[in-house]
């Protein structure tokens, strides 16, 4: 039969049914195509041969030429091991087998030159190599071998079943033989020419069997570029489709509400970033495609007023707007903030949360349906079926990650057309990541804080300096400030966390006794209304210290709180630390963030603490976070394609990503439907990909 790349792997010579099963279950390799896309983890320089007296005790893979001089069997706890003495002209080492000893004894010859390859151990004053790869020197010299040997991903099961790196390498060679090393080109001549890319065939060959380090790096570049190019192409196309297919309400004029607010009631000068973002939103709202925009801005960057002014555009065009926040406290804060502005403009606004009285609820429902109510602020309560808008034109969602995608789309079903959606989040997604996940077409970023903010002073203190920290806290309280003390809450060790929190609370209660000091405590085991009650007492200044687990993380605004003490700071992630720090620095006073830890710190913890002390830029912090943790743990990436990248790495290959994006854009600019002959292979590849993988899963 003729081979094509969708041929099942079982058909490849050298891959029997057993191996095929293992390849499928262990590495997810079903077809020829999957095998060819099994990219090496790393490469070893096979032109280098070690002498035995050059070996180092670092357990690296080495290649040595020598002879086996003798075999012996050594009894051990279970069974026995086979040990061969292996010599060259500089010394002696041992080769060791725990399995397959009979076959080894029969097939290996003493007194013949071999090339051995494997990891060395230092054991009993000698180097030894367990289960080496062996080859007669004469054979070794005959084999056409690439200088850089590919090392493939493997699993324990594979190596136990004898599928070594050499096996995989041989199978790969066979694959190239059967396919004659010819693979359809997937990038246009223009792109290849501009970037001087290797052809697809050459790139694949050199990534598996590099002829030289230079060709290897060109091969890797080409394949990474291709991978990122097609992801970008999909993202951009999806966005184009969204723009043309998903119709939304058009806010075509800017009217009295917006203009009056802008001229007469702006409480401060907008930052340039705020102005830019408002323009971006305005452009979206003025088009007939539904807006679906993410507004990112660090805590305190002033997202609320941007949201409010967007709502004014809606009202100017006769639409209703809503703002949804994840907690009751936050909804109330928004409501209290916005109602002042609304009163000046004669706009009707209401608050709807779980604790809104039934009688008030009824009035709200009525006014929503008859259109008398213009702005509704609230929690999840907005999503209840009874809540029906007359004409919801814009839905704003604050602090995105607390709402699932499904919940959000519920808002959509209340209208004929989906409302325009603006999601505001203070959790910065690193630009690189945002670009690969969202294609950044619909992201607005406020990357500038309002003028005159005093940067928060952040310090790292060890636990044994606690008394000094307590003294500092007392001084601040004496000045009338309030303080947060936060403890970690990590699911797996909830009990321990709870104990830490309670111990901490006790020691703080001892240090800050009533009636001189009042202390609040909030933690996950409390009922929601008790939490709210305690938060409220703190917000009203009735207590001096708020002892809490991370439940206070999101959005709470107590401008008089100027000190954030984070206990066991090494146990928090960077973005969490940054979020917590954002709870202070909201008033006119100098604010402080104190990171408390013990002396034992991992390198990653040190990097996190240093980053916090050095930087207050949420995006910079997010980039470090991404480098430390990889994309897997960063919000919003769980379902995105960036996790399934085969060869590119969105952190390390940022520049390639940028270039891929640029080229994807220019291809689609010139030829949005990929109809030109020049782009035929791009279209074909794109179709193929969509067939075998549901790319729409990339984005929520």
Identify which of residues 270 and 289 has a Cβ nearer to ligand ADP in the complex.
Answer: 270
Q: Judged by CB under 6 A, which stretch of 33-41, 154-162, 295-303, 659-667 contacts ligand ADP?
A: 295-303
Tokens 């206070």 found at: 552
Give the x-and-dash track for 249-268 against ligand ADP (CB under 6 A).
-------------------x
| Residue 311 sits in the site that holds ligand ADP (CB under 6 A) | no
Distance CA 322, CA 309 (A): 12
| Residue 302 sits in the site that holds ligand ADP (CB under 6 A) | yes
| Residue 270 sits in the site that holds ligand ADP (CB under 6 A) | yes
Note whether 588 and 358 are within 8 A (CB). no
| Residue 338 sits in the site that holds ligand ADP (CB under 6 A) | no
> Considering CB under 6 A, how many residues would be counted as binding ligand ADP?
15
| Residue 300 sits in the site that holds ligand ADP (CB under 6 A) | yes
Identify which of residues 297 and 641 has a Cβ nearer to ligand ADP in the complex.
Answer: 297
Note whether 430 and 281 are within 8 A (CB). no
Distance CA 168, CA 156 (A): 14
Note whether 124 and 96 are within 8 A (CB). no
CB of 589 to ligand ADP, least distance (A): 14
Identify which of residues 219 and 329 has a Cβ nearer to ligand ADP in the complex.
Answer: 329
Separation in Å, CA 246 to CA 275, 521, 665: 27, 47, 21
Note whether 485 and 508 are within 8 A (CB). yes
Give the x-and-dash track for 216-255 against ligand ADP (CB under 6 A).
----------------------------------------
| Residue 305 sits in the site that holds ligand ADP (CB under 6 A) | yes
- Dihedral pair phi/psi, residue 424, rounded to 5°: -105, 130
CB of 689 to ligand ADP, least distance (A): 38
CB of 323 to ligand ADP, least distance (A): 11
Closest CA to 382 of 427, 338, 419, 424: 419
CB of 543 to ligand ADP, least distance (A): 22
For 371-493, where are the alpha helices, taking DSSP H only? 405-412, 431-438, 466-478
- Encoding tokens for residue 187? 């990038």
Of 118, 132, 297, 641, which lies in the binding site for ligand ADP, with binding defined by CB under 6 A? Answer: 297
| Residue 425 sits in the site that holds ligand ADP (CB under 6 A) | no
Note whether 444 and 301 are within 8 A (CB). no
Residue ranges with strand state E in 268-311: 292-297
Of 299, 395, 437, 584, which lies in the binding site for ligand ADP, with binding defined by CB under 6 A? Answer: 299
Identify which of residues 134 and 278 has a Cβ nearer to ligand ADP in the complex.
Answer: 278
Distance CA 698, CA 694 (A): 8
Identify which of residues 304 and 374 has a Cβ nearer to ligand ADP in the complex.
Answer: 304
| Residue 296 sits in the site that holds ligand ADP (CB under 6 A) | no
- Encoding tokens for residue 248? 């939304």
User: What is the distance, to the nearest Å, from the Cα of residue 642 to the centroid of all Cα atoms in its chain?
Assistant: 8
Of 149, 304, 353, 576, which lies in the binding site for ligand ADP, with binding defined by CB under 6 A? Answer: 304
| Residue 271 sits in the site that holds ligand ADP (CB under 6 A) | yes
Distance CA 390, CA 379 (A): 19
Of 8, 450, 587, 630, which lies in the binding site for ligand ADP, with binding defined by CB under 6 A? Answer: 450
Note whether 433 and 634 are within 8 A (CB). yes
Residue 424's SS3 state is strand
CB of 553 to ligand ADP, least distance (A): 13
- When CB distances to ligand ADP are compared, the closest residue is 302
Restricting to residues 560-619, name those near ligand ADP by CB under 6 A: none
CB of 576 to ligand ADP, least distance (A): 16
Tokens 């990534």 found at: 207
Residue ranges with strand state E in 330-391: 349-352, 375-378
Residue 616's SS3 state is coil
| Residue 310 sits in the site that holds ligand ADP (CB under 6 A) | no
Q: Judged by CB under 6 A, which stretch of 223-231, 270-278, 483-491, 530-538 contacts ligand ADP?
A: 270-278
Name beta bridge partners: 482: 561
Separation in Å, CA 425 to CA 296, 324, 404: 5, 12, 14
Separation in Å, CA 161 to CA 110, 151, 173, 343, 553: 27, 17, 20, 75, 49
Sign of CA dihedral 677, 682, 685, 689: negative
Q: Judged by CB under 6 A, which stretch of 51-59, 237-245, 297-305, 599-607 contacts ligand ADP?
A: 297-305
Identify which of residues 233 and 423 has a Cβ nearer to ligand ADP in the complex.
Answer: 423
| Residue 303 sits in the site that holds ligand ADP (CB under 6 A) | yes
Of 165, 188, 301, 568, which lies in the binding site for ligand ADP, with binding defined by CB under 6 A? Answer: 301
Distance CA 8, CA 21 (A): 11
CB of 119 to ligand ADP, least distance (A): 52
- Encoding tokens for residue 21? 């099963």
CB of 327 to ligand ADP, least distance (A): 14
Identify which of residues 127 and 335 has a Cβ nearer to ligand ADP in the complex.
Answer: 335
| Residue 685 sits in the site that holds ligand ADP (CB under 6 A) | no
Identify which of residues 169 and 579 has a Cβ nearer to ligand ADP in the complex.
Answer: 579
Identify which of residues 330 and 660 has a Cβ nearer to ligand ADP in the complex.
Answer: 330
| Residue 426 sits in the site that holds ligand ADP (CB under 6 A) | yes
| Positions that interact with ligand ADP (CB under 6 A) | 268-271, 274, 297, 299-305, 426, 450
């Amino acid at each position: 039969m003729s081979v094509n790349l969708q041929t099942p792997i079982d058909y490849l010579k050298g891959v029997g049914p057993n191996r095929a099963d293992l390849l499928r279950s262990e590495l997810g390799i079903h077809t020829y195509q999957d095998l060819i896309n099994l990219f090496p983890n790393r490469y070893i320089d096979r032109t280098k041969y070690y002498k035995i007296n050059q070996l180092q005790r670092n357990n690296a893979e080495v290649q040595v030429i020598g002879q086996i001089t003798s075999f012996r069997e050594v009894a051990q706890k279970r069974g026995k091991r086979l040990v061969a003495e292996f010599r060259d002209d500089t010394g002696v080492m041992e080769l060791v087998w725990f399995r397959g000893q009979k076959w080894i004894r029969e097939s290996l010859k003493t007194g013949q030159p071999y090339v051995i390859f494997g990891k060395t151990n230092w054991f009993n004053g000698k180097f030894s190599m367990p289960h080496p790869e062996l080859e007669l020197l004469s054979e070794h010299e005959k084999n056409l071998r690439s200088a850089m040997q590919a090392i493939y991903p493997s699993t324990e099961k594979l190596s136990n079943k004898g599928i070594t790196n050499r096996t995989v390498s041989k199978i790969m060679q066979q694959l190239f033989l059967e396919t004659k090393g010819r693979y359809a080109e997937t990038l246009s001549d223009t792109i290849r020419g501009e970037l001087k890319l290797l052809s697809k065939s050459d790139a694949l060959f050199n990534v598996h069997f590099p002829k030289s380090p230079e060709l290897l790096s060109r091969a890797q570049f080409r394949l990474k570029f291709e991978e990122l190019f097609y992801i970008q192409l999909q993202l951009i196309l999806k966005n184009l489709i969204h723009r043309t297919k998903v119709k939304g309400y058009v806010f075509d004029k800017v009217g009295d509400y917006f203009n009056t607010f802008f001229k007469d009631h702006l409480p401060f000068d907008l930052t340039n970033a705020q102005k830019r973002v408002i323009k971006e939103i305005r452009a979206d709202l003025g088009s007939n495609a539904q807006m679906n925009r993410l507004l990112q801005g660090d805590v305190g960057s002033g997202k609320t007023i941007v949201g409010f002014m967007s709502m004014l555009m809606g009202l100017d065009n006769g639409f209703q707007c809503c703002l949804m926040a994840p907690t009751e406290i936050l909804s109330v804060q928004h409501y209290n903030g916005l109602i002042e502005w609304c009163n000046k403009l004669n706009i009707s606004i209401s608050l709807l949360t779980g604790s809104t009285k039934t009688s008030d609820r009824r009035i709200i429902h009525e006014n929503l349906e008859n259109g008398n109510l213009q702005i509704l602020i609230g929690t999840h309560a907005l999503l209840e079926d009874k809540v029906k808008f007359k004409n919801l034109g814009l839905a704003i969602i604050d602090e995105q990650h607390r709402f699932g995608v499904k919940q959000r789309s519920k808002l959509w079903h209340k209208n004929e057309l989906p409302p325009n959606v603006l999601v505001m989040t203070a959790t910065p997604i690193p630009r690189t990541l945002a670009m690969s996940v969202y294609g950044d077409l619909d992201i607005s970023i406020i990357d500038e804080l309002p003028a005159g903010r005093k940067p928060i002073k952040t310090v790292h203190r060890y636990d044994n300096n606690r008394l000094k920290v307590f003294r500092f806290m007392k001084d601040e309280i004496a000045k009338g400030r309030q303080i947060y003390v936060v403890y970690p809450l990590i699911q797996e060790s909830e009990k321990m966390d709870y104990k830490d929190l309670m111990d901490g609370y006790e020691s703080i209660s001892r240090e800050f006794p009533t009636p001189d000091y009042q202390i609040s405590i909030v933690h996950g085991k409390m009922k929601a209304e008790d939490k709210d009650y305690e938060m409220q007492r703190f917000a009203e200044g009735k207590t001096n210290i708020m002892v809490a687990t991370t439940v206070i993380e999101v959005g709470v605004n107590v401008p008089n709180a100027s000190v954030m003490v984070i206990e066991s700071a090494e146990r928090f992630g960077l973005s969490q630390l940054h979020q917590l720090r954002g709870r202070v620095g909201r008033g006119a006073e100098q604010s402080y963030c104190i990171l408390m830890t013990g002396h034992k710190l991992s390198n990653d913890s040190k990097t996190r603490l240093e980053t916090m002390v050095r930087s207050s830029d949420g995006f910079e912090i997010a980039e470090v976070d991404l480098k430390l943790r990889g994309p897997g743990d960063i919000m919003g990436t769980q379902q995105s394609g960036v996790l399934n990248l085969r060869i590119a790495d969105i952190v390390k290959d940022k520049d390639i990503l940028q270039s891929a994006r640029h080229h994807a854009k220019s291809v689609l600019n010139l030829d949005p439907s990929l109809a030109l002959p020049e782009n035929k292979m791009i279209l074909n590849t794109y179709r193929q990909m969509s067939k075998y993988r549901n790319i729409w899963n990339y984005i929520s």
